């Protein structure tokens, strides 16, 4: 099954295939990957650029290397850059494609679960600069996204869990059917040994993302912001922990549980749904019961009040009243304090 996502004038076609089929002998293609993913390629295309892996290499120097390799290969305006890797490689390859000769086409082959369900679709490209995350970038959707689920076999467990949190988030955002499938398929999903299930859930997850980005491509209507379910709490936790000890996905899972509790406190979320959200996340092994220690609480509240995704000066939280029923709202500090605090006195 193919998914076509239309963003403005641009269409991205998503399809599932085997990794060996995405390497074409074509002089006008530049393949970009990283050192962990390169060994998965059974054929090494000519001119393949292998970058060091990791967020610390998501920077301008890597963009320069991509552009330098394209020049070396003599690629013209009809070239296609193909990024094969996690979100870092996908974001950077698409960014470089968007500025090389004022824009050449880009195909993405996401190889981490996070990149499959999230980073490869939607047109956001970029790199970090002066240690500010994603501060440079463009809006430039890929022409094709190829999902090759066999690549997930070599993905380290913590990276897989990072993507799982986003996949589960898409389930909560879309509705009952996907939440139920996540509840009933947990063991197989954690074992990663059922390619059909993986494909089905990844495509379903991408359809959820598509439905938000097609309706609000540039995040102007507050719809695409619903994709940030759990993220306001998560970003504050990641910042508080100095980006160590909590991966983004683990923090998002914790944040979704806090959003469910906050929803109950303000009467938006039925307690039974909040319990269901927390139980599902707990069953997948996420640390939903973690609380912020008293000594760190003030700092946490300070960080959350400076969330960079404020709208009209207010920090927004994504809450739900049920699967697929989502609202964006502000929360009083006392509510935030209550749901994150270990003493829970307010």
Q: What residue ranges bind ligand NAD (CB under 6 A)?
A: 34, 36-37, 53-55, 58, 85-89, 91, 111-112, 114-115, 118-119, 122, 124, 134, 151, 154-155, 159, 162
Assess whether 231 carries a catalytic annotation.
Answer: yes
Which entry of 36, 235, 258, 337 is annotated as an active-site residue?
235
Tell me which DSSP letter residue 299 carries. Answer: H
Q: In which residue are the tokens 């000594």 written?
A: 295
Nearest residue (CB) to ligand NAD, 138 versus 200: 138
Nearer to ligand NAD, 159 or 261 (CB): 159
Q: Which is nearer to ligand NAD, 133 or 344 (CB)?
A: 133
* Beta strands 80-85 and 29-34, pairing class: parallel
**Shortest reach from residue 184's CB to ligand NAD, in Å:** 26
CB-based contact 304:330 (threshold 8 Å): no
DSSP string, 244-294: SS--HHHHHHHHHHHHHHHHHHTTSS-HHHHHHHHHHHHHTT--TT--B-H
Active site residue 228: yes
Q: Please say if 235 is a catalytic residue.
A: yes
Catalytic one among 58, 192, 204, 228?
228
Active site residue 2: no
How far is residue 337's CA from residue 332's CA, in Å, rounded to a whole number?
Answer: 9
Which C-beta is closer to ligand NAD: that of 111 or that of 326?
A: 111
**Residue 77 a catalytic site member:** no
Q: Record the tokens describing residue 336, joined without a space.
A: 């935030």
Q: Does the active-site annotation cover 209? A: yes
- Other Cβ atoms within 10 Å of 39 Cβ, number: 10
| Minimum separation from the CB atom of position 152 to ligand NAD (A) | 6
CB of 257 to ligand NAD, least distance (A): 20
Of residues 91, 306, 320, the one with CA closest to residue 226: 320
CB of 111 to ligand NAD, least distance (A): 4
Catalytic residue among 248, 258, 268, 337: 248
Residue nearest to ligand NAD (CB): 87
Catalytic residue among 29, 169, 170, 224: 224
Rounded Cα distance, 205 and 209, in Å: 7
Intra-chain end-to-end CA distance of the chain, in Å? 50
Nearer to ligand NAD, 58 or 235 (CB): 58
Shortest Cβ 124–ligand NAD spacing (Å): 4
- What is the CB neighbour count within 10 angstroms for residue 148? 20
User: Measuring CA to CA, which residue among 259, 261, 236, 232 is closest to residue 246?
Assistant: 236
H-assigned helices in the chain: 60-72, 87-99, 113-114, 157-174, 176-184, 186-191, 195-215, 231-240, 248-265, 271-283, 294-305, 333-340
Catalytic position from the list 57, 159, 166, 261: 166
Active-site option among 124, 144, 161, 192:
124
Out of 150, 183, 219, 325, pick the active-site residue: 219
Closer residue to ligand NAD, CB minimum distance, 124 or 337: 124
Does residue 102 have an active-site annotation? yes
- In whole angstroms, the minimum distance from the beta carbon of 338 to ligand NAD comes to 30
Nearer to ligand NAD by Cβ, of 33 and 341: the residue is: 33
**Is 166 part of the annotated catalytic residue set?**
yes
> Minimum Å distance from CB 54 to ligand NAD?
5
Query: How far is residue 23's CA from residue 39's CA, in Å, rounded to a whole number?
Result: 14
Residues catalogued as catalytic: 102, 124, 166, 209, 219, 224, 228, 231, 235, 248
């Amino acid at each position: 099954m193919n998914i076509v996502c239309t963003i403005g004038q641009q269409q991205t076609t998503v399809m599932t295939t085997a990794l060996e089929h995405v390497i074409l002998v074509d002089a006008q293609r530049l393949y970009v990957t990283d050192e962990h993913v390169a060994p998965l390629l059974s054929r090494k295309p000519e001119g393949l650029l292998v970058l060091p892996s990791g967020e610390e290499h998501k920077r301008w120097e890597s963009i320069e290397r991509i552009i330098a390799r394209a020049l070396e290969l003599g690629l013209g305006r009809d070239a296609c850059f193909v990024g094969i890797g996690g979100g870092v490689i996908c974001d950077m390859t698409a960014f470089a494609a968007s500025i090389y000769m004022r824009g050449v086409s880009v195909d993405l082959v996401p190889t981490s679960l996070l990149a499959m369900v999230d980073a490869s679709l939607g047109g956001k490209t970029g790199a970090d600069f002066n240690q500010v995350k994603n501060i440079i970038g463009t809006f430039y959707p890929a022409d094709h996204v190829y999902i090759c689920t066999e690549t997930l076999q070599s993905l380290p467990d913590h990276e897989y869990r990072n993507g799982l949190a986003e996949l589960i988030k898409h389930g909560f955002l879309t509705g009952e059917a996907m939440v139920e499938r996540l509840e009933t398929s947990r063991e197989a999903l954690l074992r990663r040994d059922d390619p059909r299930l993986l494909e089905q859930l990844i495509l379903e997850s991408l359809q959820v993302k598509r439905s938000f980005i097609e309706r609000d491509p540039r995040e102007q209507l507050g719809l695409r912001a619903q994709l940030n379910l759990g993220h306001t709490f998560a970003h504050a936790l990641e910042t508080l922990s100095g980006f160590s000890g909590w991966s983004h996905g683990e923090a998002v899972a914790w944040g979704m549980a806090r959003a469910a509790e906050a929803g109950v406190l303000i009467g938006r979320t039925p307690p039974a749904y909040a319990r269901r959200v927390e139980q599902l996340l707990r069953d997948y092994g996420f640390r939903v019961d973690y609380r912020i220690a008293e000594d760190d609480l003030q700092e946490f509240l300070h960080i959350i009040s400076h969330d960079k995704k404020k709208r009209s000066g207010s920090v927004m939280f994504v809450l739900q009243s049920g699967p697929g029923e989502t609202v964006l709202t502000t929360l009083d500090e006392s509510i935030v304090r209550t749901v994150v605090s270990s003493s829970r006195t307010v």
